[in-house]
Amino acid sequence: MLIIRSSTTGKRGERKFRIVVKEKRSRRDGKAIETLGWYEKGPNGKKQIDKVRYDYWVSKGAVPTPAIEKLI
């Protein structure tokens, strides 16, 4: 089963998150099938998401997590 979730990068206190497509059983920061974009938390949070690829993976059966659904 495929899932669309976030993966952490950056150092402590300056976390950035990648939006990735992964197998549900794989580790959070393990190898991803594809990276769809990124976002930063906080009051000046920025984000960049490839909507075309997101829609493609959802059409193939990938399920986004609730946090990613809220972000999109």
Number of domains in the chain: 1
By residue range, what is the domain housing residue 57?
2-71
Task: Give bridge partners of residue 47 from the DSSP assignment.
Answer: 39
Residue 28's pLDDT is: 77
Single-letter code of the amino acid located at 39: Y
From CA 70, how far away is CA 13, in angstroms rounded?
Answer: 23
For 10-21, the pLDDT digits (tens) are 888 888 999 999
Residue 56's pLDDT is: 96
From CA 37, how far away is CA 31, in angstroms rounded?
Answer: 15
For 33-44, the pLDDT digits (tens) are 999 999 988 778
Which of 1-5, 27-31, 43-47 is predicted with the least confidence, judged by mean pLDDT? 27-31
For residue 42, the domain's CATH number is: 3.30.1320.10
From CA 19, how far away is CA 47, in angstroms rounded?
Answer: 10
